[in-house]
Structure 1
Amino acid sequence: MPRENNTSINRRKFIAQVATAAGSAVVLASPFAGFAAGFSAGTMPVQERITVGQIMDLFIKQAPGAPFSNTVDTLKSGSRDVVVTGIVTTMFATVEVIRKAIALNANFIIAHEPTFYNHTDETAWLEKDDVYRYKAALLKKHNIVVWRNHDYIHGVKPDGVRKGLVDQLGWQRFEDSNHVIYNLSPAMTLKALIGNLKQKLNIEAVRYIGDPEQQCKKVLLLPGAYGGKNQIQSIGNTQPDVLVCGEVSEWETAEYVRDARAAGKQLSLIVLGHIVSEEPGSEFMAKWLQEKFPAIKTTHIPTGSSLSFL
């Protein structure tokens, strides 16, 4: 969800320009072996009472340049000192997710996106709002901590959200050296590619621009909300057959693709939806937690799309 401010610009820098790795490599036996040199080895002692702050700090230090001076990755409820009984990873700490966490005896929710309906989770404007008050009271009553992990998971090398998505698609072998282009082999039609994406990501429907019979080999993959300028510039720099993205402003990238096709370019667009394109990042986070803190039960709860198709 891009914002036209400094935080938004910094946020996209984490995604578009990942810094160089730092730290030690994980052990070869780990499911993350070879994944990122910046992820240190080892787990916390099983007998230790692990706090929210310990978990946060261990993940944060994996991101090159951390801690970030300007970040939205702050606690939205609760305290760093709370001893963790269980963890839930998710895209949004929705009321439904909070209730499921309570049922699981999980008092730590790690969400990728805002909890209180705006990028910085400002709440002053919501103080008299019934929905906000209900949600905040529910978190307080059950002493549940919510941490937003957005900038740091995008800031690790490689980007944890992208890795989760690429792993779910099974596209690791297609990845180009610039980490945004995927050269499919064999190529497939736009219609077949859409069907493949829907099946692997469990999507009911997607929006698209293009000829369903167009051959697609070179895919530009930009999950989440890169913003129109970044999407259009990336198209110009890489010249893909198709852009597969999380979301677009209809008056930006979609209109560029429409004009590109009218000008004779064989360029298509597939819009997955923001949530579905980044949900695999929360699964990536769950796997990391299961490796580093095996004594704590970690559960990934998908939020799914808030919108339905009729």
Structure 2
Amino acid sequence: MKSTAISRRAFLSSGALLAGSVVLAASPLKKWPCIDEAPSVGQIIDTFIAQVPSGTIPHTIDTLKSGSRDTKVTGVVTTMFATIDVIRKAIELKSNFIIAHEPAFYNHLDDVNWLQQDDVYRYKKELLEKNSIAIWRNHDYIHSLHPDGVSKGLIDTLGWQQFGVEGQPVFNLPAAQRLGELIAFYKKKLGIPALRYVGDLKQHCQKILLLPGAYGGKAQIEAIGKYKPDVLVCGEIAEWETAEYVRDARAKGDKLSLVVLGHIASEEPGSVFMVDWLKQHFPQVKATHVHPGNSLSFA
């Protein structure tokens, strides 16, 4: 979703994208008093927030989108988007708590005032209410972990822990690879059927600037100028911003390429991070990662 000062841009400027970091190393493992006791939705949320260095974030978008804090959890599903299909999967799994990274109702703030008469919104809302399912959006908080939980999940998925540059969202590969080889690597590791790029497939790339999610064109372009990568690998772009900048840079003579993974592909590993966190802190609760799939298809 749209970057916030607390999430991706703060993450970029602070250099929180560190490969090889130990997840929440400084945070004590909070043991549940009774291993057989089912926690409530609120207790799981509060335990996660307690491990975020900044603590409670004012005016956060990370609120309950459905359900109650007091609900006893029968199981948790982690996902990027709480789609209707993901909700149906949660029902099948007998899980009544969904932790999603992005909005449930089609806008950054999950404002539903304009959707009250919309058939899709009403169907989804009634499905959640009928099955007593709570949805919590975990966006600002997971991005505020040190290291950023979404980026940590992506780095682990790529197996790039040892290539990171401390304090920078930059990865130096041990040997240069052709852009076409890198693209094939991302497709295989992240399950992407096809992706978009700007550049020469034969260009040799060694210094990678990795910006998952939606930083925004200004932040992406500023990062290119600051870190001087061979290739920017990002989640999503506005086509009239970063892609045009890279195209002009190449026309100028710069050896610069752009690879667009897609928002879901670049940040879904954060939902894998979340399921691992749940298994560590609430082992008595069944936790399942459910990939929402890609909303867009390739013809």
Match of 1:217 among 206, 213, 217: 206
Q: How does 1:198-209 map to 2 (within 5 A)?
A: 198-209=187-198
The 5-angstrom pairing of residues 8-157 of structure 1 reads 8-17=4-13, 34-44=22-32, 45-157=34-146
| Unaligned runs of at least 5 residues, structure 2 | none
Q: 1:171 to 1:94 in 2, by over 3 A?
A: same
Does the 8 Å CA contact 2:9/2:215 hold for their aligned counterparts? no
Amino acid at match of 1:184: L
Give, in angstroms, the shift of residue 261 of structure 1: 0.4
Judge which range, 282-291 or 174-183, deviates more. 174-183
Name the CA distance, whole Å, in 1 between partners of 2:31 and 2:168.
29
**Is 1:196 matched up with 2:192?**
no
Q: Cα offset for 1:17?
A: 4.3
Partner Cα distance (2:269, 2:47) in 1: 21
Tell me which residue corresponds to 1:284.
273
SS in 2 for 1:212: coil
CA-based RMSD of the aligned residues comes to 1.6
Give the superposition deviation at 1:19. Answer: 9.4
Deviation at 1:178, TM superposition (A): 2.3
Cα gap change, 1:9/1:190 in structure 2, threshold over 3 Å: closer, same or farther?
same
Deviations 1:136-173 (A, max 9, x none): 00000000000000000000000000000000000001
Percent identity, aligned pairs only? 57
Pairing of 1:230-245 with structure 2 (within 5 A)? 230-245=219-234
In structure 1, distance between residues paired with 2:21 and 2:234? 28
Distance apart, 1:33 and its partner CA = 8.9
Task: Tell me, in whole angstroms, the C-alpha distance in 2 between the residues paired with 1:247 and 1:108.
Answer: 28
Asked if structure 2 preserves the Cα contact closer than 8 Å seen for 1:210 and 1:267, the reply is: yes
* Aligned counterparts of 1:288 and 1:94: Cα–Cα separation in 2: 22
Aligned letter for 2:2? P
Query: Residue type matched to 1:65 in 2?
Result: S
Q: Please tell me whether the aligned partners of residues 38 and 157 of structure 1 are also in contact (alpha carbons under 8 angstroms).
A: no
Q: 1:219, 1:241 within 8 Å by CA — same for their partners in 2?
A: yes
Shift of 1:273: 0.2
Q: 1:261: which partner in 2?
A: 250
Residue ranges of structure 1 left out of the alignment (5+ in a row): 21-31
- 1:165 paired residue number: 154
Question: Match of 1:76, SS?
Answer: strand
Distance (Å, rounded) in 1 between the aligned partners of 2:59 and 2:278: 25
Indicate whether 1:227 and 2:216 are aligned: yes
Is the contact between residue 184 and residue 217 of structure 1 (CA under 8 Å) also seen in structure 2? yes
Whether the aligned pair in 1 keeps the contact of 2:179 and 2:203 (CA below 8 Å) is yes
**TM-score, scaled to structure 2:** 0.95
> What is the CA distance between 1:293 and its match in structure 2?
0.6
